[in-house]
Structure 1
Amino acid sequence: MAELTIDQQLFIGAVETFVEKIRNSLYLQTPTLARLEDSVHAVTDFKKATAAVEGDSFCAIADQLEVVFVRHLTTQVIPNKIELEIIKLAIDWLAQLAILYEENLPEPKSLVAELLYT
């Protein structure tokens, strides 16, 4: 395991917290508009954490999640099952990227790009 700086350790913690919040809000319970609003706040906080490190892929995925969350919150519509699966895929990717980041391994940029266009 690579030696991590304090900032990197904090970032890994931020990823884990964000992933857990989204899973709890949208998957372990029935999604509601209030939980969707919680997800908007969570992604906003997470984006601040990504600014502290060089995490382009993390930021790109967070940006896309924010667009989805805000669009649904604005229209007052809960994401459908397919959209929830895509959100879940993005969250799972963030968790996997965190492992790569923690081990100081390169990001699979082409796979991240594919996810963003799903």
Structure 2
Amino acid sequence: MQRVADAASTRDCVSRRHHYVPQSYMRAWSPDRKRVRVLDTRNGIDKLRGLRDTCVQENFYRVTDPDTGQHNQVERMLAVIDDETARLLQVLSRWSPGDDFESVT
């Protein structure tokens, strides 16, 4: 949570291209960790497409603050959460049905 709070204190982030589906999630479905299969529902064509160019939109998370104007602070905070989620997905991907785990408190 401290990393999210630190990100929240920074008003803008370097990136203007925001992924509305986290890259870590797409990477979990990727055959080579660089591309993911994309289906064009208009014509039924599916192909591999680079993660950087999939489910992305410029300034998707841009918000307007009445005091300071527009900023991308939300994107920076979500990037921290995405990093943590990526680590969790890596752990879960190694599990098999019936595996035991220990909860650490």
TM-score by length of 1: 0.29
**Structure whose residues are more often strand by fraction:** 2
Larger Cα-atom Rg: 2
